[in-house]
């Protein structure tokens, strides 16, 4: 873990949706330690501020890739950047998706909105080790067809099983409409021998986890990525506290057996 921000240069910018871009970053000099799927960095836009952003792809070499949605001053500044611009990055921080817990078992990846970004490296890792896991299922929900991420990758993900749904369809949309939890009944998995990875809005996480537990997936094998207001990323400022957890240090990935009593208190 590097606490001092290191300079990185934007070497590629890919527009995912109207308000979301994926930035590929390359170190100007020294690079951060390797990231694991699910961990995050603090990315600083000079003169604006820094925000936590999960890695959305782990390229070969020393590069990083982050998918950013423009929702605040820092994220808007990052989304406006073009190749050649510089940022500062520190990390890696937080806990990773436990791929070891999924080896030999069916894998269920369930994402809501931008929550697909931190799950994407996990999908790549599972697909990169054929035979090490059971059946891979990728279920994703978004507000509208225009908000779906990584649409070019879904044909590959569908080879095992993948499905998407939207809340507000466009007139020419022919796919599924509704909440992402409705896709679970279509997935191909054995509940007692499955590890689920879930990321998205908190209300979606609660509903998804309850549906999985009802089907018989053990709570400890429902791994969720939680979010609070992370500022220092080291567990010192306390802004990311959720009950006894400091999510920048003890999370963001935790088992639902640990998260369930904490999520019973609704986020204000």
214/142 Cα distance (integer angstroms): 24
155/173 Cα distance (integer angstroms): 17
Q: What is the pLDDT of residues 241-258, one digit of tens each?
A: 888 888 888 889 999 999
User: Where does the chain show beta strands of DSSP type E?
Assistant: 2-17, 20-27, 40-45, 49-57, 64-69, 86-93, 106-112, 136-142, 162-166, 176-177, 194-199, 222-225, 241-242, 245-246, 253-255
Determine the average pLDDT of the residues in 38-62.
Answer: 95
The sign one gets for the Cα dihedral 172, 178, 179, 180 is negative
Give all domains of the chain, ordered by start, each with its CATH number.
2-93 (2.40.30.10), 99-234+248-263 (3.40.50.80)
Q: What is the pLDDT of residues 137-156, one digit of tens each?
A: 999 999 999 999 999 999 99
Among residues 259, 110, 100, 104, which one has the least CA distance to residue 194? 104
Verdict on whether the full-model pTM lies above 0.85: yes
Instruction: With H, G, I as helix, E, B as strand and everything else as coil, classify residue 176.
Output: strand
* pLDDT of residue 265 exceeding 80: no
Predicted pLDDT at 205: 95
């Amino acid at each position: 873990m590097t606490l001092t921000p290191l300079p990185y240069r934007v070497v590629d910018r890919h527009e995912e949706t109207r308000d979301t871009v994926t930035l590929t970053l390359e170190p100007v000099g020294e690079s951060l330690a390797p990231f694991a799927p699910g961990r995050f960095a603090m990315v600083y836009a000079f003169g604006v501020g820094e925000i936590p952003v999960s890695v959305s792809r782990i390229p070969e070499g020393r590069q990083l890739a982050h998918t950013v949605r423009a929702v605040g001053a820092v994220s808007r500044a990052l989304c406006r950047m073009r190749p050649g611009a510089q940022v500062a990055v520190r990390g890696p921080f937080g806990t990773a998706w436990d791929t070891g817990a999924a080896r030999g078992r069916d894998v269920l990846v369930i994402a809501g909105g931008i929550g697909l970004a931190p799950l994407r490296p996990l999908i790549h890792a599972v697909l990169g080790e054929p035979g090490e896991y059971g059946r891979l299922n990728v279920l994703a929900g978004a507000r509208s067809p225009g908000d779906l991420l990584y649409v070019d990758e879904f044909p590959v993900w569908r080879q095992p099983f993948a499905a998407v749904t939207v809340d507000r369809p466009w007139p020419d949309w022919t796919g599924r409409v509704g909440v992402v939890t409705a896709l679970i009944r279509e997935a191909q998995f054995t509940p007692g021998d499955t590890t689920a990875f879930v990321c998205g809005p908190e209300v979606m996480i609660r509903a998804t986890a309850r549906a999985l537990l009802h089907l018989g997936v053990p709570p400890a094998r429902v791994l969720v990525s939680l979010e609070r207001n992370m500022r220092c990323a080291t567990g010192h400022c306390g802004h990311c506290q959720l009950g006894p957890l400091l999510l920048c240090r003890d999370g963001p990935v935790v088992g639902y057996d640990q998260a369930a009593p904490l999520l019973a208190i609704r986020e204000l």
